[in-house]
Amino acid sequence: MKATYFLGNQTFEVRERPVPKAQPGTVVIRNYACGVCGTDVHIYHGEPGSAEVHPPVVLGHEYSGVITELGAGVQGLQVGDHVTIDPNIYCGVCPACRNGKKQMCSHMEAVGVTMDGGFAEYSMVPAAQALRLNPEVPLEFGAMSEPLACCIHGIDRAEIKVGDTVCVVGGGAIGLLLLQLARLSGAARVIVSEPNAIRREKALLLGADFCLDPLEAGALEKYMDYTDGEGADVVIECAGNHAAVESAFQFAKRGATILLFSVPSVGAVYELPLFDVFQKELTIRGTFVNPDTHQRAVALINSGRIQIAPILTHSYSLDELPEAIAKQMSADSIKVLVRA
């Protein structure tokens, strides 16, 4: 089988190795499609992922495939099942796990981060991490289950109420998923702030009520006009840069919740507008990975309630992983897949 290893220092190497044999409690998967995540981009540049990375390792934690072998003791799955992988594996015994905060696990492992993942033709994972997709669902869509699960956790943290006005800052893959989830959560209006015209068009296609280019002269005035001079009840920042965070505070209504969803660069800082927090009585929240939300993501994808196809823009082979990483960082992509 072919596997693309990350060696560190922005270097990959394609290697041939034996197809893994299922161990007790595991399944072997013929990988099909794996998304390039912003976390992969951070790891590529030497920054940490959701857990510490020790090259050489096969990255890729957003993926789907077909089960080819079951290990001893595996129940509830069969050879031939179409599955997606929940990459995060929690210890279950640390204080965070025992107190219902497993995403803060002190010993978290992650498929495609600390152990070999989706940028290979085959993978072996604990059976508990494999969630079954409906067979009629395209496997490319199944590869989006993990980012969707993270978005669901973010939406839970945002606590959108029926009738709220929601502003999503950033129209990449995550922003376009959050836009749809905000609508499903009962938002009366969803606004998307995005400088890229292609992404604004996608946002309107996927149900945004209003889009603005934050770099355009008078953008804030247009936004405030649209929101009757008030701003949004919930602002979700998912662009990961200083300007986006600054605009999130500008877009927030009095009493609003600001969810900082994006994965920032290590060491990134922002001067908190303390008087705004005080005067507007703002609630500021973070969100991390996808505790207990992956099954809900699979249910949404299986149901067809979330549109995935418009978000997928480019596809590469395992031999082209550096090109796939570069394309994911480019302005003309939304979501890049690597096909095994």
Which residue numbers are catalytic?
Answer: 39, 42
| Interatomic CA distance for residues 155 and 164, integer angstroms | 13
Q: Which helix (H) or strand (E) holds 208?
A: none
Determine how β-strand 210-212 pairs with β-strand 189-193.
Answer: parallel
Say how far apart CA 113 and CA 48 lie, in whole Å: 9
Which of 87, 91, 77, 63 is closest to 25 using CA atoms?
77
Identify whether the C-beta of residue 285 lies closer than 8 Å to the C-beta of residue 306. no
Pairing verdict, β 165-169 and 232-237: parallel
Q: Look up tokens 């099909």; give the residue.
A: 32
DSSP 27: E
Instruction: Retrieve residue 113's tokens.
Output: 């981060």
DSSP state at residue 228: T
Q: Which residues contact 91 (CB under 8 A, 6 or more apart)?
A: 97, 105, 106, 107, 108
Contact assessment for residue 171 and residue 192, using Cβ atoms and an 8 Å cutoff: yes
* H or E, element range at 203: helix 197-205
State residue 327 phi and psi, 5-degree precision: -65, -40
Residue 252: in which H helix or E strand, if any?
Answer: strand 252-260
Phi, psi of 280 (to 5 degrees): -85, -5
CA–CA gap between residue 293 and residue 149 (Å, rounded):
5
Cβ neighbours of residue 159 under 8 Å, at least 6 residues apart?
Answer: 234, 257
